[in-house]
Structure 1
Amino acid sequence: MEEKKPYLYLNAFLAKDEHASLKASDFLKGASQVNAYDLDKNYGLEGKLFVKVPEEKKPKWSSFAESITGVPLNELANRSSAAVLIIKTATSTMAFTFGYGRFLVDAKYFVHDFGIKTALNTLNHDSLRSIDLLTLEDQPVQKKSQASRESAVEAFGVDISRDVLRAVTGSPKTGVHLKNISGGDSVYSFGAEINVGEISDLVDLLYSYYNNESYKSGFSWVDNIRKVKEKSEVNSLDKIILKKIKSKSSDVIVTLPEIVQWDEIHGFSFTRSKKSIKPTVETEDYFYNLDPGSVSIESIKRDRLFVYDVHENEFEYQIYKCLYFEHKESNKTYILFSGVWYEIDNDFVSRIDAVLAQINISNLIFPKVYIWKETKDGKLKSKIETEGDYNSRAANEYSYHLLDKKLIKSNRTTSPIELCDLMTNDKKFVHVKHRKGGSAGLSHLFAQGNVSAEVLLGDREFRKKARNVLKRVSSGLQDSVPIENFKSDGVEVVFLILGEDSKNLKDNLPFFSKVNLSKVFENLSQRGFKVTISGVGTQPRPNV
């Protein structure tokens, strides 16, 4: 009877080809405190095992616990284990990590898409259990979706126009003799029944799984958003973001490059202010200590975001991998996230522009937004009219009905919503937002108009409450929203953007605002609503 092989769950990283000649120890971060072990010569393996020198730390709350008991509590100690196995074969070099070992390896030496691509090439595409997505917007949203049973990708509600697949978990496809496969970015994780002497064959097998294109039969859409790999192109894009960082531009955001368990996080700090631990990641804190004259891409890559968990463990991320930035060119949009530049597929850009071309400019007339300067604490500051003040003034000057901040409850939404900000007698519902809020604010504007129209069409109780609000605003206005047989035909949803003329409005929207607007337009148009946009520029506030 054949002896049963031991079962291991492994995390694998593939070294880049150009680094194959490095010594095993070079693949670890320089500051790692480890013991190095040669491998048993009986197995004929080339490589080394590195084990982190353990250290015991008392948790932060131990002093409180000891104070309340009045005695030392020696059993309160955290101790974490970590190890890295480096294996070299004629084909490639791989690192296998154990425990917290992934934090010992230096990511710059490893292939950044090894985990996700190898997973897609080895998974049965109808057996997915979870996926991690990054939705590319001004405020990037990371999502982890988990299915109650093995499912195809369609079950996870992926938006292939702006979702980047970050990680995936599922069962192997026929012919792949691994178990519980998951992959994300550079790490490929799996279970295997394996003897020690078979580890070199496993390295070559994993390398072959990475170096094919079989994922395209079920996951071709993952290429809609392309990773920029050409070094010269990356260098050009790096120069653009460096210029933004030197000017401390609000276009650049520092954010965590991966999903974390927030209830496990104690706080964050940066390289030049390590002792200043904040409960959230603050981009301004990083910019505050930067010297624009000496900052470079290399220095940004040396800088770190430190993360502290409640168990006294300290992790770090390269700042470059924490940057989020959107750069628009004539026919391309580039996104930097998690240390990787992405290019949005040109065909997708064209499809979005084709939808935007169908959206007309509203024929309603709106006043321009007031701007002025005022002195406060001895400093001259530029000011712009608030949305609330603008809405009140527009209603007075052009006889619109003011519905701003008049909230109506619906059992279809998590919180009360505004029917709109301004309204006309002939069923035009106007939603207003400043352009200066960026794509996050504009996304909120389009979502607000979309939700309001959908609830108006589908929720009888909402229409009943809306009529009461409209009647208080102006007697007879409630007739625009009948309780029964409300029809979208003849209803116009208007998106008014403050601070940008209508003429250039569509061209100058942030790319993912264009995506959101096009989706809202298609959704509401299919439901029978008319959707238009309008923009207004600024003018000096008249002297009062």
Structure 2
Amino acid sequence: MEEKKPYLYLNAFLVKDEFTARQPIEFLKPSAQVNAYELEGKHELDGKLYIKVPDEKKPKWSTFAESLTGTSLEELSNRSSSAVLIIKTNNSTMAFTFGYGRFLIDTQYFAPDFGIKTALNTLNHDSLRSVDLFTLDDQAVQKKSQASRKSGVGVFGIDISKDVLRAVTGSPKTGVDFHTISGGDSVYSFSTDLEIERLPELVDQLSDYYNNDSYKNEFSWVDNIRKVKEKSEIDFLDEKLLEKIKAKSPNITITLPEIVQWDSIWGFSFTRTKGTIKPIVDTQEYLDNIDVSSTTIESIKRDRIFVFDIHGNESDYQIYKCIYFEHKASSKTCILFSGIWYEIDNSFISRINMTLNLIKPSSLSFPKIHTWTEVKDGKSKSMIETEGEYNERASKDFQYHLLDKKLVKTNRATTPIELCDLMTNHNQLIHVKHRKGGSAGLSHLFAQGNISAEIMLGDIEFRKEARKVLKRVHNGLQDSVPLNNFKSDDMEIVFLILGEDTVSLKENLPFFSKVNLSKTFENLSQRGFSVTIAGAGTEPKPST
């Protein structure tokens, strides 16, 4: 009778090729307190086993429990076990961790995408049980989705244009002799029946699974966007950023990393020029006042942008988290967004740009947005027209109907929504947003236009409420939205961005705003709507 092989659940980490010649102990954190064990000679393995020196701890709540009983509760002491097995072959070096062993290894020596890539190369694409996603929008959102049975990727509602796949769990494809498989970032986890003598073979097998691109047959979209995690790569990109900041490059943009109520904001200032408050985030103001000789990434992270609202409140953000910057290389583009570096595949960027090229400029005319200077308490302050003021002036000067802040009730959204900000007599719905709102504000703009159009198309109750609002604005305007036989191809959705001319508008959008605009365009176009875009540059406010 054949002896049954031991069943093991393993967590594997692959050492980068350039570090395989190092001694096994070097792959552990310098602070790791471990005992080292040689491997028994009969197994003919090249490696070491490291076990963390145990320490007993009581949980934080033990003090409370002992206060309740008035006695020492020795059974509350717990002791965790951690171990790391390093195995070397002629081709690769790998770490297998047990217990909390992953916290003993020094991650800089290990391939940061080994887990996720190896999992995608070994999983049956129709057998997924869970996915972890990092969604890039006006702010990054982490999501975990689980299916009740083995499923394809479509079940999880993944948006391939802005979802970064962080981890995945499923069953192995035919020919992969494992049981369950999970992979995320640098760790590949799997269960298998394993004889100790097979460990070197397993190391080489896992390395081969990592060093191929079979995942591209079913999961090619995961290469669209990748979060940069490797410290050496982040340091390199930060140096490129620092060079551009010291050169005061126009390619540096500072913008708030989250959505704010722009009409309630009075102005902005920076660490070294806090007394100078401007109505927009003036990147050049920051760059002109740094000390080039002493500026470092650390000093940039210490710097702040201050936000002042009309009620006298003050808040601030770390400058590094407000910088939008793109570093282009031959095969990829790296983007700093909300304090995190992302690697974007250039072919994906090309596809986004191809879609943007299909979006035509609006044929409508719009006034420029006004800027002026006010003197208050002996200080000069730069001012810019608010969206509300601009909409009101545009409606009067160009005979557009003003729908800003005129909300329509719907049970398809958690709150009433605006049909649009301005509207023409020719079924053109204009959505307006300041360019100064950055990626977050622009994403909100495109979402607003998309939601309004989708609900108008699919919900007769919404159209009924919209007609009431339109009739109050101007009798007869309600005929633009017929209750029955509504036709989307009679409607044009116009996105108007204030503070940027139409000619340069699409090119100067932040990348993630381009992604959102292209998705909105594709979605609305497929539903029959016409989608156009327009800009409104600035001009000094005429004297009255």
Q: How would you bin the TM-score normalised by the shorter chain?
A: 0.7 to 0.9
1:48 Cα deviation (Å)?
2.0
Which residue in 2 is equivalent to 1:344? 345
Residues 1:368 and 2:374 aligned together: no
Over 3 Å counting, the alpha-carbon distance change for 1:38 and 1:153 in structure 2 is same
Pick closer, same or farther for the CA change 1:214–1:353 going to 2, 3 Å.
closer
Larger mean Cα displacement after TM superposition, 164-173 or 93-102: 164-173
Seen in structure 2, the aligned counterparts of structure 1 residues 73 and 441 have a Cα distance that, compared at 3 Å, is farther
In structure 2, distance between residues paired with 1:104 and 1:295: 35
Distance 1:433 1:227, change over 3 A: closer
The AA in structure 2 aligned to 1:500 is E
Native 8 Å contact 1:429 1:494 kept in 2: yes
- Residue matched to 2:240: 240
Letter in structure 1 aligned against 2:523: N
Residues 11 and 190 in structure 2, CA contact (< 8 A), matched pair in contact too? yes
Partner of 1:50: 50
Q: How does 1:77-96 map to 2 (within 5 A)?
A: 80-96=80-96
1:480 corresponding residue in structure 2: 480
Structure-2 residue corresponding to 1:461: 461
Residue type at the aligned position of 1:241: L
- Give per-residue Cα distances to partners, 1:192-250, cap 9 Å, x unaligned: 12233332222122122222333233334444558999999988744322346889x77
How far off its partner does 1:171 sit? 0.8
Distance 1:54 1:94 in 2: 24
Distance (Å, rounded) in 1 between the aligned partners of 2:327 and 2:520 = 22
Residues 1:55 and 1:384: Cα distance change in structure 2 (over 3 Å):
farther
Residue equivalent to 1:422:
422
Deviations along 1:472-502, one digit per CA (max 9) or x if unpaired, are 3333322222222222232211111011111
Number of the residue aligned with 2:130: 130
Aligned to 1:503: 503
Which deviates the most, 366-375 or 177-186? 366-375
Alignment RMSD, CA only? 4.0
- The 1-side partners of 2:134 and 2:54 are apart by 35
What one-letter code is carried by the residue in structure 1 that aligns with 2:133? L
- Secondary structure at the aligned position of 1:334 is classed as strand
Q: Is the CA contact 2:256–2:438 (under 8 Å) kept in the aligned structure 1?
A: no
> Residues 34 and 324 from structure 1, CA distance in 2 versus in 1: closer, same or farther, beyond 3 angstroms?
farther
Q: Cα distance, 1:327 vs. partner?
A: 0.4
Offset of residue 291 of structure 1: 10
Instruction: Determine the structure 1 residue equivalent to 2:21.
Output: 21
**Residue matched to 1:277:** none
* Equivalent residue number for residue 386 of structure 2: 386
Q: AA paired with 2:346? A: D
- Structure 1 regions of 5+ residues with no counterpart? 256-289, 304-321
Q: Structure 1 residues 93, 482: CA separation in 2 closer, same or farther (over 3 Å shift)?
A: same
Partner of 1:275: none
Aligned residue number for residue 101 of structure 1:
101
Which residue matches 2:410?
410
1:112-191 aligned at under 5 Å gives the runs: 112-137=112-137, 139-191=139-191
Select between 110-119 and 353-362 the one with higher mean Cα deviation.
353-362
- CA 1:353 to 1:211, structure 2 compared with 1: closer, same or farther past 3 Å? closer
Question: Residue 265 of structure 1 corresponds to which residue in structure 2?
Answer: none
Distance change >3 Å, CA 339–CA 485, structure 1 → 2: closer
Q: Mean Cα displacement is larger for which, 224-233 or 203-212?
A: 224-233
**CA-to-aligned-CA distance 1:164-185 (integer Å, 9 cap, x gap):** 4332221111221111111122
Measured after TM superposition, the shift of residue 101 of structure 1 is: 1.9
C-alpha separation in 1, matches of 2:329 and 2:502: 20
The residue type paired with residue 207 of structure 1 is S
SS in structure 2 of the partner of residue 125 of structure 1 = coil
- Counterparts of 2:376 and 2:73, CA distance in 1: 55
Name the residue aligned to 2:309: none
Q: Which moved more, 1:207-216 or 1:496-505?
A: 207-216
Q: 1:106 to 1:496 in 2, by over 3 A?
A: same
Residues 423-451 of structure 1 deviation map (CA, whole Å, 9 limit, x = unaligned): 22332211111112222221221111011
Question: What are structure 2's unaligned runs of at least 5 residues?
Answer: 259-289, 303-320
Structure 2 Cα separation of the partners of residues 187 and 330 of structure 1: 28
Distance of 1:4 and 1:251 partners within structure 2: 62
Give the equivalent residue in structure 1 for 2:5.
5
In the other structure, the counterpart of 1:327 is 326
2:494 is matched with 494
**Range moving further from structure 2, 202-211 or 231-240:** 231-240
2: CA distance between counterparts of 1:60 and 1:398? 67
Give CA deviations for 1:119-165 in whole Å, capped at 9, x if unaligned: 12222222122233344556334433322221223333334444443
- The aligned counterpart of 2:514 is 514
SS of equivalent residue, structure 2 residue 147? strand
For 1:409 and 1:465, locate their aligned partners in 2 and report how far apart those are by CA, in whole Å: 6
Asked if the contact 2:39–2:49 (Cα under 8 Å) also holds between the matched residues in 1, the reply is yes
In structure 2, what is the Cα distance between the partners aligned to 1:389 and 1:454?
Answer: 28
Change over 3 Å in CA distance of 1:153–1:371 after alignment to 2: same
- TM-score of the superposed pair, with normalisation by structure 1: 0.78
Partner residue in 2 for 1:206? 206
Alpha-carbon shift at residue 368 of structure 1 (Å): 2.3
Aligned-residue offset at 1:60: 5.2
Q: 1: CA distance between counterparts of 2:456 and 2:399?
A: 23
Instruction: State the TM-score, normalizing by the size of structure 2.
Output: 0.78
Change (3 A) 1:152 1:533: same
1:96 CA displacement: 0.8
Shift of 1:57: 4.9
Task: State the percentage of identical aligned residues.
Answer: 66
Give the match's secondary structure for 1:489. Answer: helix
What are the Cα deviations for residues 401-428 of structure 1, in whole angstroms up to 9, with x where unaligned?
Answer: 3222233232223432211112223322
Displacement after TM superposition at 1:76 (Å): 5.4
5 Å matches for 1:174-323?
174-224=174-224, 237-243=237-243, 251=254
Moved more, 143-152 or 368-377: 368-377
CA distance in 2, matches of 1:381, 1:64: 57
Q: Higher mean Cα deviation, 385-394 or 422-431?
A: 385-394
Distance 1:414 1:328, change over 3 A: farther
C-alpha distance in 2, partners of 1:134/1:543? Answer: 50
Letter in 1 for 2:13: F
Contact kept? 2:46, 2:88, Cα under 8 Å: yes
Cα 1:5–1:417, aligned 2, differ >3 Å: closer, same or farther? same
CA, structure 1 residues 455+339, in 2 after alignment: closer, same or farther (shift >3 Å)?
closer
In the alignment, residue 364 of structure 2 is paired with which amino acid? L
Distance 1:228 1:152, change over 3 A: same
Aligned-partner SS, 1:179: coil
Letter in 1 for 2:518: S
Distance 2:29 2:44 in 1: 27
